[in-house]
Amino acid sequence: MSNAMMAWNPEVASARDAGTPIVALESSVLAQGLPAPANREAYRLMCAGVRSVGAVPAVTATVGGKAVVGLDGEALERFLSVGAMKASARDLGYAIASGRDGSTTVAGALAIATMAGLDVFATGGIGGVHRAALGEPSFDESADLLELSRSSVVVVCAGAKSILDLAATLERLDSYGVAVIGYRTEEFPGFFTASTGLPVSATANSATEIARAFLAGRQLGRPSAVLVVQPPPTGAALDPRLVERAVRVALAAAATGPNRPRGAAVTPFLLAAVERATGGQSLATNLALLESNARLAGEIAVALAAENTRRPLGSRPR
């Protein structure tokens, strides 16, 4: 992307120039994923998590005809209070050309992070393959998966959102050649839940292990992301049976209600329905895992900086 099409906030630009670790963040969770005032709390927690380990947070978005690395100020306030168009990777060109505010999904944030040369990205949960129970075609799946296959970035999350077909999502990640590493877990988490019964093929117990695996893959010419999954923090994870009941209620509402969601509206609709069905417990879990994932991403960014200092050949070609 041309430098003329990118805007860096001063803090993030200074961190880039100084070689300070940076963690990219999405903005869809702020504009669509969480209701006010929880979205503002999510922003605070994610940024605090990244900063707590010595890295700098950079929320991605499109504003005023530019891809923004480090959403802040008046633009951030608009996203938190008014919202913005949901911008996946496919939407970035239109959003920039039309000068619209665009809140990045995982796919959109990955595209901007890649163009900005950022190696680490944190989110809550990735998108994936939707359940057939929604009444949509079986090929209905998130663009996040394809973007993960072509973005050389470490992505930290709590697995895929519980509303999805988790087994099919994990299989698709395998088909796309996306490495999935469980951080101190041998299972693929279920976003709201720690246990799904779905094993991951690799585990790591430290940020340094993850950094080294990522750099080794890059030196081998692997084009895809390394997806790091960790369960929600202890005490915040929900009972899988509670979540499954809530998801089924949400799916039924989406399939039979008078205002059935379509496309990009499906995920926010289902997550809101799950929040109602769990009496608000899922919202607290969401906030907790966003902070935890941001902190781990910060640790990995710091570890990557240390490894690149020792092994400059592992750095991204410029």
CB of 133 closer than 8 Å to CB of 251: yes
Q: What is the pLDDT of residues 99-114, one digit of tens each?
A: 999 999 999 999 999 9
Amino acid at 131: R
Q: Is 287 helix (H, G, I), strand (E, B) or coil?
A: helix
The whole-angstrom separation of Cα 164 and Cα 143 is: 14
Q: For residue 150, what pLDDT is reported?
A: 97
Q: For residue 318, what pLDDT is reported?
A: 36
Structure tokens at 118: 């950022």
- pLDDT over 70 (residue 242): yes
Q: What is the pLDDT of residues 47-79, one digit of tens each?
A: 999 999 999 999 999 999 999 999 999 999 999
CB of 288 closer than 8 Å to CB of 236: yes
- pLDDT over 80 (residue 236): yes
CB of 308 closer than 8 Å to CB of 315: yes
Domain that holds residue 92: 3-314
The whole-angstrom separation of Cα 159 and Cα 192 is: 9
CB of 57 closer than 8 Å to CB of 23: yes
Q: For residue 43, what pLDDT is reported?
A: 98
Q: Could you tell me the pLDDT band of residue 317, with boundaries at 50, 70 and 90?
A: very low
| Mean of all residue pLDDT scores within the chain | 91
The lowest-confidence range among 154-158, 219-223, 265-269, 313-317 is: 313-317
Is the bond preceding 37 in cis, omega lying within 30 degrees of 0? yes
Nearest to 32 by CA among 119, 96, 127: 127
Dihedral angle of Cα 24, 26, 30, 33, to the nearest 10 degrees: -140
Q: What is the pLDDT of residues 279-311, one digit of tens each?
A: 888 899 999 999 999 999 999 999 999 999 886
Nearest to 277 by CA among 256, 305, 246, 314: 246
Active-site pick, 26, 141, 147, 307: 26
The total of structural domains in the chain comes to 1
CB of 256 closer than 8 Å to CB of 248: no
Amino acid at 7: A
Estimate to the nearest angstrom the gap between the alpha carbon of 190 and the chain centroid.
14
Q: For residue 138, what pLDDT is reported?
A: 53
- pLDDT over 80 (residue 254): no
Q: Could you tell me the pLDDT band of residue 148, with boundaries at 50, 70 and 90?
A: very high
Higher pLDDT, 317 or 307: 307
Q: Could you tell me the pLDDT band of residue 132, with boundaries at 50, 70 and 90?
A: confident
Dihedral angle of Cα 289, 294, 298, 299, to the nearest 10 degrees: 0
Query: Which residues are CB-neighbours of 278 under 8 A, at least 6 positions away?
Result: 238, 242, 243, 246
Catalytic site includes residue 41:
no
The neighbouring-strand residues paired with 204 are 183
**Which domain CATH number covers 160?**
3.40.1790.10
- pLDDT over 70 (residue 256): yes
Active-site pick, 161, 187, 299, 307: 161
| Arithmetic mean of pLDDT, 208-225 | 97
As to burial, measured by CB atoms within 10 angstroms (0-12 exposed, 13-18 middle, 19+ buried), residue 226 is: buried
CB of 270 closer than 8 Å to CB of 247: yes
- pLDDT over 50 (residue 314): no
| Arithmetic mean of pLDDT, 158-180 | 95
Q: For residue 247, what pLDDT is reported?
A: 79
Structure tokens at 216: 């080794």
- pLDDT over 50 (residue 179): yes
Q: For residue 315, what pLDDT is reported?
A: 45
Instruction: Determine what percent of the chain is predicted with pLDDT higher than 90.
Output: 77
Amino acid at 251: L
As to burial, measured by CB atoms within 10 angstroms (0-12 exposed, 13-18 middle, 19+ buried), residue 89 is: buried
Q: For residue 279, what pLDDT is reported?
A: 82
Please count the residues of the chain.
Answer: 318
CB of 140 closer than 8 Å to CB of 264: no
Catalytic site includes residue 161:
yes
